[in-house]
Structure 1
Amino acid sequence: MTKKTKTADNSAVSGENQSLKTRQLIDDQYKSFLEDFQGIAYRMDPHWKPVFFHGAVKQITGYGENDLLNLKPDWYDIVHPDDLPELKQKYQSREFRKPGFKAQREYRILTKKGNQRWINDSIQSVFDESGNLVFIEGVIFDLTERKLAEERLRKSEAKYRELSEQLAETNNLKDLLLDVITHDLRNAAGNIFGFTSLLKELNPNLEFVNNIESSSLALLNVIDNASTLAKISAGEKIDMFPLDLTETLKDSLEEFGPMNGKGMVEIKARLQEKLMVKANPIISQVFKNYVSNAIKYAFEGLLVIVEAYKEEDHVKVTVKDFGTTILEENRKIIFERRVTLDRSRKLGSGLGLAIVKKIADIHDAEVWVEPNHPTGNIFCLRIKAMD
C-alpha cells in the first residue's frame, strides 16, 4: 500500500470518527432538550398510527412512550369522546392531505387514570418528493391549568353579572320607592303648609301656627334635598342657579339656633356679605354636615366658628372646632363612604362627609380638613365665585 493511499484511508477514518462524534453530540443535545421539554413531540403514520413520542409523555398522558406506541388502533383512543368527532372530521379531511397543511387544535384527552386534560395540539403534514403523505408530526402542550382558570373566571363573571343585574334591579326599585315617597310626602307637606298659611292669615298672632308653617316648609326642603341627593348619587346632572352663599349659610345656621348660646355650644359666624356662586341649594347640606360634625365630635371645645370670604376668584367657607384633632392619615379617608373615626360614640352612619364629597364634586368644588390650632379641625370648602 502506498503512502498516499494510507494517508487517504487515515483521512477517511478521521472524517468518519468526526461525523460519529458530531452525531453523538447532536443526539446528546436532543436528549437533553427532551428531558427539559415540557411538551410532547410526536410523529404518526398517514393512518394515525404512532411512530414515536418524546418529552413529557407520562406527565401529560399518564402513559409511557411505549404504551402510546402500542395503542390499538390509534391515538384517537385517548381523545375525549365529546371532542373526537370534530377532531376526526378535521384531521381526516382532504385539506389534511394537501402539502403545506398545518393546524392547531385545543381538545381534551383522557389520561391512563381516566382524568381529563386539555391539550394544545399543533401539527403539520409531511410529504415525499412525489407528493405522497409520509407522516404527521406535531407538538402537544398541557393547557389544563389555563382552562381551569378560564372556567373559574367564566363562573366568576357570570356570578358578578348576576349580582350586577340584581343590584340594578334593586336600584330601580329604590328609585321608584323614592319617587313614590317624595311624591306622597310632598303632597302631605304641601297641604299642611297651605292650611297653616290660611290659619296664619286668620290668626296671625298664634305662635304654634308659625312653628307649623316653618316646620312644613323645612320638610318640603328636606324632600327636595332627598330627590337632589338621589340624582347626585346616580351621577345625574342637577340644576345650578346664582346663589348667595352668605344667605345660604345664615339659613343653614338657623337650624342650630336652639343649641347656640344655650350652654351646649357657641356658634360664631363671620360671613363676608354677598358671596355669589353658581350652585344648587343642596350645597347647604355641606355646611350643615360640617357644623353638625363639629358639634358631635368636638364638643370638648364648646365653640364652633363659621367663616366665609372671597379668596381671589373663589369663595372659601371654613368651619372650625376646638375638639380632638383628626390624625393626618385620616384626613382624606373621612370623606369616603361609611368611614367613622370614633365608633364608640355611635353618632352617625359615616355617610355625612361622603355626601359632602359628592355634592362638592358635582359643583366642581373642593372639600378637605386641616388641623386647627392649638387643637381641633378646620373643615373647608372652596368653590368658584361668580364674576
Structure 2
Amino acid sequence: MKKTLSSVQDLIVVIDRDMRIVISNWKNCDSIAANEKMGHPLCYSCLMKQTKPCESCCLLEVFATGKCCKFEIEDPLDNKPKLIELSPLFDDNGNVSMVVRHAKDISECKSIESTLKMREKQQAVVAKLGQEGLAGAELDNLMQESVRLVTDTLNVEYCRIMKKEGDNTVMVAGVGWEEENNTKTESEDSKNDIVCYTLYSDCEEKSAIQGDISQDKYNYTSNYTSGLSLLKENGIVSGMDVTIGSREDPYGVMNVHTTQRRVFTKDDMHFMQSVANVLADALSRKEAEENLKKYAKRLEDANHLKVLFTDILTHDLLNPANIIRGFTEELIIIEDENSKQNLLDKIHKNNERMIYMIESASKFIKLESVDDIKYEEQDFLPILEKVVRNLSSEMNKKDIHFDMKAMGPYPSFINPIMEEVFLNLLSNAIKFTPPNGRISIAISDAMDKWKIQVTDTGSGINNDDKDMIFERFRRADKGSIKGSGLGLAIAKRIVELHGGEIGVENNPIGHGSVFWFTIRKASFF
C-alpha cells in the first residue's frame, strides 16, 4: 500500500479512530516538517496546524456514518485551495476502522473558474452598456454608468473618462476622483489634468508593471503626462488606460487606477476597450443624430424657400406679366405705324416667353414636392387626342405632315397631369420640325407598360446632349429656337412619378429624333 501511495502526487493519509495518521505518502509533501512526520502524529495537529480537533470535524462524521465526504478548504500547509475527500475503510465486522484522506490541489481549477466568472461578468457589463447605448441613453448618464461598472467589475478604486480639448483634458465622468477633487485645494487646471500614466495600455502586448511609482519604470502616455504628483499622493501604483474613438482623432481616454500592486490581464484590457468602444459608438450615433437634425433643419428651410419662391413666381411676377400682356395686345390692335407695331410685337413675344418660363418653373417646383399624387384607371388616348387637336393649328401653319398610329383603348394608371407630357413632347416636335416636315405618334405594347413614341424630322440631338436635356435649365443648342430648359425636366418628373421611364433616340429613317416614355398598364379596365 505504501508503494501505491508513493506513486500518487497528491497528499494521501490514512487516519485511525484516535485521529492519528498511520499511513501516508509524506515524501510528496514538503510543507510538513520532518520532525512532525515522526511516529503517528495527530491529523489536526500535523495537517491543520491546530492544537485541538477541528470544529464540525468531518472525519468524525465519516467514522459515525460510514459515508464518504467531500469539501473544499484553504490548505494551511501551502495556502492553496484543496478538495478534501474522506473515504471510510471497514473491518471484518463492517465497522469503520480507518479513514483515507485525499487532498487534491484545485488551485488551477479555481483560477480558471474565477477567470470564467470574471469574463462572464465583464461581458454582461459590456452587453448592458451596449443595450443602453442603442436605446439612446443620454451620453452623460452612459459615461457615468460606465465608470461605475468598470470600477466595480475590475475591483479598483478609481476610474475616469477624460475628454480631449485641444492640448488639455477634462474629466467628464469619474469614480473615486470626484471625492479627491472636492478635498484638494489645487487649481481647477490641476483637477482636470489628472490622467497621467498607464501600466497596461491598449497599445501594449505585455503588462508594464515594474515596481512602485517612485521607480519611474512606467509607460507614460504621450498626451497625458502631467498629474504624476497627484497619483503619488493618493498612493497609486497600478493603472491602465484605453483610447475612446480612433487613434488619429480620439474623443479621449478611459483609465483605471488602484493602490494595489496589480498586473492587469489582457482580459481586463479587452473588457475596458470594449466599454470604450461602446462609448465611441454612442458618440458616433450622437454625432450622426445631430447631423441629421441639422440636415432636416436645412431641408425644412429649403422647402420654406421653395414655397416662398413659388409664391413669388405665381403672384408677384406672373400678375404684372399678365397685365403687360393685356396692355401690349391692346396696343398692337390699335397701333397703325409699322415701326411701333414691330416694337410692340417684340415686347409681346418676350413677355410671353417670360410668362411661359414663370409658369414652367412654378410647375416644376410643385412637382418636386409632390409625393402622394392620386392615380386613376383610365384610357390615356382621349387626353392625347385633345392635345393633338389643340396643336393642330400650329402644325398646319408649318404644313407638317402628321400621323398617329393609335387604335386604343389604352387602360393605364395616370393622373391628369400626364397631359403636360403629351403637350411638351408634341409642341417640341412642332417647334424643331422644319416646314413640310413629318411628325408621328406611335403607341406599342411593352409588357406591363405602354410605350409612347413621338418622332420628328428636325435637326436631331447630339449624342453628348441626350443625357442632359432632361435636366432642369439645360437645353441643347438649337440656334434661334429658345426655351426655358424646364419643359423636358417637367416631363421627366411627371413620368417618374407615374413609375415610368423617358428617353430620346435618333430617328432611324433620317434626320430628327424619337422621344419616348412609358406608362404603367392598368390590371383591368
TM-score (norm 1): 0.49
More helix, by proportion: 1
Bigger Rg, which one: 2
Structure with the larger RCO, 1 or 2 (CA within 8 Å, 6+ apart): 1
TM-score (norm 2): 0.39
